[in-house]
A and B are shown apart, each in its own frame.
Chain A
Amino acid sequence: MVRLGMDAHWRGSMVVARALRDAGMEVIYGGNQMPMNIVRMAIQEDVDIIGLSSLSGNHMMLAPEVVKLLKKEKVHDIKVVFGGTVPPDDVPKLKKAGIVEVFGPGSSLRKIISCIESLKNN
């Protein structure tokens, strides 16, 4: 779980990270990171899923970049999900760019947990 770029909001990422941990998953919280570092960390830690969080509006510039860099590194088994403040029009754009799931404001914790669990098992 990382926050993208300079985003200052940590509440959402922290609450979700904790909920996933309490649901029995191992969560690594990376704080604020740029795409290059995120991919490096993900490979190093051998993660199943990267959770990106941002409420600052930087998602269209940074989230697709993470997917691109993963491809460049020939990593195909790490899935990327996104949570945060996203205008509805951006959701299909993010999905087209390879983000497998987008959780907007008001998303249910249980839904996030079950989605991550099913992504992990697929």
Chain B
Amino acid sequence: MGMKTEIFDKKRLKEIKTKTAEWEENSYSCQKKLKKKYETLSGFDVKPLYTPDDLAGFDYLRDLGFPGESPFIRGVHPTMYRGRTWTHRQLAGFGPPEETNKRYKFLLQQGASGINGVFDYPTLRGYSSDDPDVYADVGRGGVAIDTVDDMRILFDGIPIDQVSVSLVTCQPICNISMQSMYFANALDRGIPLDRLAGTSQNDFLMETATTIAPGVLPPQASFKVSCDAIEFCTKNAPRWNPISFAGYNYREAGCTAPQEVALVIAHAIACSEEMLKRGIEIDSFANRLSFFLSAHNDFFEEIAKYRAARRIYCSIMKKRFNARDPRSLMFRFHVQTAGVALTAQQPLNNVARAAYHALAAVLGGAQSVHVDAYDEALCTPTELSSVTALRTQQILQNETGVTNTIDPLGGSYFLESLTNRMETEICGILDEIDSLGGLVKAVENGWIHKEIAEAAYKYQWAIENGEMPIVGVNCFKIEDEVLPIELFSSPETLKVQKKKLQIIKKKRNAAEVARSLDAISRCCEKNGNLMELMVGAVKSHLTEGEISQALKRVYGVWDPPLF
């Protein structure tokens, strides 16, 4: 790494530096007097102009390299979108599984190239629809799934051996049931697990840090349950991504861009360490670790974030874990456009916002994208708003030409500088998490909660004080606005689900149910792999709530610390 590999000549750089200073002094001076502060959303200073001087010491082969090659900053695939476009994976789920099944089929007919299934609040938290505490939330925010029979209905008539399916089973307590039901249903349809392609979210931070709900699984237990699914998939479902580190949700809860990436990478480190402890070789699972990030308002910062994440991750997997398989070094990620950036005011403006967000994701080299619907801040997407979101992706792919060349912003003085700055910031946070004893510890002692809450609070005051303009909210407002869109109304779910549960509970073999639940408790006590047992156990029509209770009886519950 001597002088010869640097792309800018030292003497010329000096001249550029002098010239830039002159330009600032003479030509730019009027603007300088205004003393306005320019910074990115996460608070990095932004200069008026970037030149080669900002990339002094820049070495193309070392710092950027080529797509599909280490450090993968220019993209994880050698052909990127020329070879294969990003997956248009639109989130869908509401009401009973019968209704969501129709929406999946509709989206696939409209050209969606993958399914992104979201579950209702009780399902995500491990409750069945007949629990007395959940009657107001059944079918809201996603589809209600109680037993393996609901899972069968949800994917009825959908070729799950061909379509890749993402299960947004945020919390491990939900994932262990849902993924087992999904696998059990596939086996029942005669599809072997090694033919299933897809992803489950399965993120213990979602259970313990980003939703602050009382009575959740303790962090160590939640983390263990998530790792059981990773281990099971490594051995039985090699095309399945058993975890999707949900940086998107950390961001929605309040994180900044560098915190978002630092937390997902810290999480990948924790999982890798745990798998190695279980005697599983790094290259047999690391190639299936996948990431889920947000695309927020600051266009260039978001692109820099994705690029920095790829370079840091590659280096960590190489140096810290000695991974050899190139696929283990790749930071592959799904993007959802930021819901928190959308407004209830003038909701059609959100079409423009989400399009910019999606553009950042694609210029940042995402593997799959979900574009938020314009009515996100008001209700579950209607058929019209979800098709408009899908069309936003199709327009981006087919009309704008952004797919023609790989990493088109690579080499930009500004973007490369920002990528470097982002990398430094992320690595700093990673060091801090290491010094706290790793991610699980950082959750247990409330550090994560404090960090997220602090950032969210700062963000809100920036909007409040007008430092962060939000069109329609703190500027360009319309008083007494009449809502220009139709809103979604949820189909009846509670009665439908309760009735099905009543029938199932009568019909199923009670002795077999008791045996299965007992086996689950014993597996928890013996620290065995829960998913190995669960894929078979759910066939006896255990409800999700019964499974969660069995887990909580052994592991206990935890009240996350407050901010």
List B contacts of A19 (CB < 8 A): 457, 460
Bitwise, A80-110 to B at CB < 8 A (1) or not (0) is 0000010111000000000000001110111
13 more A-B residue pairs beyond the given contacts A10-B213, A56-B140, with a C-beta to C-beta distance below 8 A: A5-B121, A5-B134, A6-B124, A8-B125, A11-B340, A15-B457, A31-B559, A57-B137, A58-B137, A85-B344, A87-B487, A105-B343, A105-B378
B: contact size bracket: 35 or more
Known: A6-B122, A14-B453, A104-B344. A58 touches B136 (CB 8 A): yes
Judged by a CB distance under 8 angstroms, whether A62 is at the interface is: yes
Instruction: Please name the 5 residue pairs, one residue from A and one from B, whose CB atoms are nearest each other, closest first.
Output: A6-B121, A58-B136, A61-B136, A105-B344, A6-B137
Summarize B's interface: helix, strand, loop or mixed: loop
Judged by a CB distance under 8 angstroms, whether A34 is at the interface is: yes
Bitwise, B211-225 to A at CB < 8 A (1) or not (0) is 111100000000000
B211's nearest neighbour on chain A, judged by CB, is: A8
List A contacts of B380 (CB < 8 A): 57
- Of B210, B460, B470, B473, most A-chain CB atoms within 10 Å: B460
List A contacts of B299 (CB < 8 A): none
B477's nearest neighbour on chain A, judged by CB, is: A106
A49 to chain B, nearest CB (A): 19
List A contacts of B161 (CB < 8 A): none
List A contacts of B453 (CB < 8 A): 14, 18
A21 to chain B, nearest CB (A): 10
A32 to chain B, nearest CB (A): 5
List B contacts of A31 (CB < 8 A): 212-214, 559
List B contacts of A70 (CB < 8 A): none
Bitwise, A7-44 to B at CB < 8 A (1) or not (0) is 11111001100110000000001011010000000000
Are A87 and B121 in contact (CB-based, < 8 A)? no
Are A57 and B140 in contact (CB-based, < 8 A)? yes
B120's nearest neighbour on chain A, judged by CB, is: A6
Judged by a CB distance under 8 angstroms, whether A67 is at the interface is: no
Assembly CA distance A62 to B483 (angstroms): 25
Judged by a CB distance under 8 angstroms, whether B563 is at the interface is: yes
Within 8 A of A (CB), among B113-137: 121-122, 124-125, 127, 133-137
Are A6 and B134 in contact (CB-based, < 8 A)? yes
**Which of A10, A15, A87, A105 has a CB less than 8 Å from the CB of B460?**
A15
List B contacts of A61 (CB < 8 A): 135-136
Are A6 and B212 in contact (CB-based, < 8 A)? no
Judged by a CB distance under 8 angstroms, whether B253 is at the interface is: yes
Are B141 and A57 in contact (CB-based, < 8 A)? yes
Known: A5-B133, A87-B378. A10 touches B344 (CB 8 A): no
Assembly CA distance A3 to B125 (angstroms): 14
Assembly CA distance A104 to B135 (angstroms): 23
- Of A5, A61, A62, most B-chain CB atoms within 10 Å: A5
List A contacts of B38 (CB < 8 A): none
Assembly CA distance A85 to B141 (angstroms): 12
Are B563 and A14 in contact (CB-based, < 8 A)? yes
- Of B345, B456, B490, most A-chain CB atoms within 10 Å: B456
Bitwise, B446-484 to A at CB < 8 A (1) or not (0) is 000000010011001100100000101100000000010
- Of A19, A85, A87, A110, most B-chain CB atoms within 10 Å: A87
B349 to chain A, nearest CB (A): 12
Judged by a CB distance under 8 angstroms, whether A4 is at the interface is: yes
B562's nearest neighbour on chain A, judged by CB, is: A29
Q: List 14 A-B contacts (CB under 8 A).
A: A6-B127, A8-B211, A10-B210, A14-B457, A29-B562, A31-B212, A34-B133, A56-B121, A62-B136, A85-B344, A87-B378, A104-B344, A105-B345, A106-B470
Are B460 and A7 in contact (CB-based, < 8 A)? no
**Which of A10, A56, A105, A109 has a CB less than 8 Å from the CB of B461?**
A109
Summarize A's interface: helix, strand, loop or mixed: loop
**Which of B133, B344, B483, B562 has a CB less than 8 Å from the CB of A106?**
B344
Are A32 and B344 in contact (CB-based, < 8 A)? no
Are A8 and B121 in contact (CB-based, < 8 A)? yes
List B contacts of A3 (CB < 8 A): 213
List B contacts of A29 (CB < 8 A): 562
Assembly CA distance A5 to B141 (angstroms): 13
Assembly CA distance A15 to B472 (angstroms): 21
Assembly CA distance A18 to B461 (angstroms): 11
List A contacts of B345 (CB < 8 A): 105-106
Assembly CA distance A89 to B344 (angstroms): 13
A106 to chain B, nearest CB (A): 4
B421 to chain A, nearest CB (A): 26
Judged by a CB distance under 8 angstroms, whether B270 is at the interface is: no
Are B136 and A18 in contact (CB-based, < 8 A)? no
Assembly CA distance A108 to B474 (angstroms): 9
Judged by a CB distance under 8 angstroms, whether B379 is at the interface is: yes
Within 8 A of A (CB), among B338-374: 340, 343-345
Judged by a CB distance under 8 angstroms, whether B496 is at the interface is: no
Are A18 and B121 in contact (CB-based, < 8 A)? no
B377's nearest neighbour on chain A, judged by CB, is: A105
Are B141 and A109 in contact (CB-based, < 8 A)? no
Known: A5-B134, A18-B453. A85 touches B213 (CB 8 A): no
Bitwise, B378-422 to A at CB < 8 A (1) or not (0) is 111000000000000000000000000000000000000000000
Judged by a CB distance under 8 angstroms, whether B172 is at the interface is: no
**Which of A5, A8, A34, A87 has a CB less than 8 Å from the CB of B379?**
A87
**Which of A9, A14, A56 has a CB less than 8 Å from the CB of B137?**
A56
List A contacts of B470 (CB < 8 A): 106
Are B136 and A11 in contact (CB-based, < 8 A)? no
B136 to chain A, nearest CB (A): 4
Are B213 and A32 in contact (CB-based, < 8 A)? yes
List A contacts of B546 (CB < 8 A): none
Assembly CA distance A106 to B101 (angstroms): 33
A111's nearest neighbour on chain B, judged by CB, is: B464
Are A57 and B490 in contact (CB-based, < 8 A)? yes
